[in-house]
């Protein structure tokens, strides 16, 4: 069963994906009164069992998660005053610590929930009811608030969803590995990250179990950040939403990997426009740093990785700026 939250989404993985069936993901964008926006993305990848493993008909477990917190706009503060989340599961609540100054990494929930059933060998975040999130946020221009999110069923496994500025057009692209009764996709646009309207509809494959790549080109008419999301509609009229992607006039200087997903023997990682001092860290889906190196070049050719999902962290050591690229190796 794949699940999803309204502007946040919850879904699960066979491969690391945007929609899937064992883990869960949540995303939210909030605008401050002082000109900046905060995009918060949480992916609940898996559980880990503690205190004796699966013996005794019960077990304690933690949630493993990946976070990506990005600031855009003007008057960006050094940090928020409060940023944390709670996942409300069948057997108790999980506390999810988050860094107030943003960034992307993997972590483990600050809780240890007891499960009174002997299903730990097959349990996933979705099967344990991790389908409701409470996000607590407070900062300059953002009043203290708790944001609750609910879930709906999601019948498509979306491996990636991207929006990139190319000259005066935005290329919105996505890849599916599974479609069930999928009638269509609708690309939606927003100028504030909250109020979306449809700009392009694409026919779905109906039922498919192989990779399908989609892409549309849209005119980019704004000098301020613009947000994009994907609406997926079933034949019965039910629908769900993807993550939100933000595009602005400097997006063509943002870090990217191509091809992505990749089945090649190598891929290119681009993260700047001039020589400098950069540190590259390749982090696996379980949080392990599998490669780390320094370079002066704004672009690097990298050898293929083992099949899976990765976060590639690029730190500009001169500007003290970090960029993160999500990368899938098929």
Residue 198, pLDDT score: 93
Question: Which of 72-86, 105-119, 176-190, 253-267 has the largest mean confidence?
Answer: 72-86
Q: How many CB atoms lie within 10 A of CB 245?
A: 20
Same domain? For 197 and 129 the reply is: no
Distance CA 19, CA 159 (A): 7
Q: Where are the beta strands (DSSP E) in 278-320?
A: 278-284, 289-295, 299-303, 308-316
| Final residue in a domain of this structure, among 247, 273, 308 | 247
Question: In which domain, by residue range, is 7 found?
Answer: 3-152
Confidence bin at 249 (pLDDT 50/70/90): low
Alpha carbon distance, N-terminus to C-terminus of the chain: 24
Answer for the pair 61, 90: CB distance below 8 angstroms, yes or no.
no
Residue 56, pLDDT score: 66
* pTM reported for the whole predicted model: 0.47
> For the ranges 63-77, 139-153, 200-214, which has the lowest average pLDDT?
139-153
Same domain? For 121 and 182 the reply is: no
Same domain? For 7 and 148 the reply is: yes
What's 205's domain CATH number?
A: 2.60.40.10
Residue 187, pLDDT score: 95
Same domain? For 7 and 144 the reply is: yes
- At 193-241, the pLDDT tens digits run 778 899 999 999 988 877 888 999 988 766 677 889 888 888 888 777 7
Q: Which residues pair with 111 in a beta bridge?
A: none
Confidence bin at 78 (pLDDT 50/70/90): very high
Mean confidence (pLDDT) of the chain? 80
Residue 251, pLDDT score: 40
- Compute CA distances 179 → 148, 155, 175, whole Å: 28, 7, 11
- Size of the chain, expressed as the number of residues it contains: 330
pLDDT over 70 percentage in the chain: 85
Question: In this structure, what DSSP letter does residue 262 have?
Answer: B
C-alpha torsion sign, points 311, 253, 242, 89: positive
Task: Write out the two tokens for 56.
Answer: 């005794």
């Amino acid at each position: 069963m794949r699940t999803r939250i309204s502007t946040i989404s919850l879904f699960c993985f066979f491969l690391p994906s945007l929609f899937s069936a064992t883990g869960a993901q949540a995303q939210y964008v909030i605008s401050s009164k002082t000109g900046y926006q905060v995009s918060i993305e949480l992916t609940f990848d898996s559980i880990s069992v503690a205190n004796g493993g699966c013996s005794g008909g019960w077990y304690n477990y933690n949630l493993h998660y990946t976070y990506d917190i990005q600031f855009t706009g003007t008057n960006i503060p050094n940090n928020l005053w409060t940023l944390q989340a709670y996942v409300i599961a069948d057997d108790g609540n999980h506390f999810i610590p988050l860094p107030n100054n943003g960034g992307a990494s993997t972590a483990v929930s600050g809780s240890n929930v007891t499960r009174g059933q002997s299903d730990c060998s097959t349990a996933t975040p979705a099967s344990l009811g991790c389908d409701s999130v409470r996000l607590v946020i407070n900062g300059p221009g953002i009043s203290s608030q708790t944001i609750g999110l609910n879930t709906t069923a999601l019948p498509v496994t979306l491996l990636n969803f991207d929006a990139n500025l190319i000259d005066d057009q935005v290329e919105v692209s996505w890849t599916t590995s599974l479609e069930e009764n999928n009638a269509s996709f609708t690309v939606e646009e927003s100028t504030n990250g909250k109020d979306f309207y449809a700009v392009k509809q694409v026919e779905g494959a109906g039922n498919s179990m192989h990779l399908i790549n989609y892409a549309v080109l849209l005119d980019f008419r704004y000098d301020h950040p613009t947000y994009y999301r994907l609406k997926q509609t079933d034949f019965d009229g039910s629908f769900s939403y993807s993550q939100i992607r933000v595009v602005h006039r400097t997006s063509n200087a943002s870090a990217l990997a191509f091809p992505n997903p990749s089945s090649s023997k190598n891929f290119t990682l681009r993260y700047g426009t001039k020589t400098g001092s950069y540190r590259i860290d390749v982090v696996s889906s379980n949080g392990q740093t599998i490669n780390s190196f320094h370079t002066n070049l704004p672009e690097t050719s990298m050898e293929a990785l083992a099949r899976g999902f990765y976060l590639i962290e690029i730190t500009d050591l001169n500007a003290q700026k970090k960029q993160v690229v999500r990368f899938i190796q098929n």
